Amino acid sequence: MIMTTNGNSKYILVIDDSTTNVILLQAVLHGKGYEIATALSVKEANTIINRKKPDLILLDLLMPRIDGFEFLKNLKNDMNTNNIPVIVVSALTDQDNVNRSMALGANDFIKKPVDIQNLVEIVDSIFSH
């Protein structure tokens, strides 16, 4: 599902297999004026990315079939997508998973349950650089 706003807004792809998390992130970010696309699987995310490259990806790690780590590794190894910033949003909050995410090229790591104010600040800071 894709929600659009004005043509000047940044385009964010939210990848999470939890409909609840997708709806929450979509509502918050759309309310801040961002254009949002959502994917409930890595396969769906890849289809969306091939149609329109996002300006930012919010990525859950615990996904069916292909997990967030595999997606992140593939994204960063592809010359067409390796420059897309990625914020990992995950319940896998131990230091090993945070370190692994950052080593694979994530720009930041947000722990679930999501602190909405923190999320918005991190998204805004990525777009302000």
Asked if the peptide bond before residue 113 counts as cis, ω within 30 degrees of 0, the response is yes
Token look-up 């043509």 returns: 7
User: Residue 103: which domain range?
Assistant: 2-128
pLDDT for the residue numbered 64:
87
Q: How many domains does the chain have?
A: 1
pLDDT for the residue numbered 8:
60
C-alpha span between 3 and 38 (Å, rounded) = 9
3-state secondary structure of 109: strand
**Tokens linked to 57:** 């990806």
Per-residue pLDDT of the chain (129 residues; tens, 9 = 90+): 444 444 568 999 999 999 999 999 999 999 999 999 999 999 999 999 999 999 999 999 999 899 999 999 999 999 999 999 999 999 999 999 999 999 999 999 999 999 999 999 999 999 997
CATH number at residue 86: 3.40.50.2300
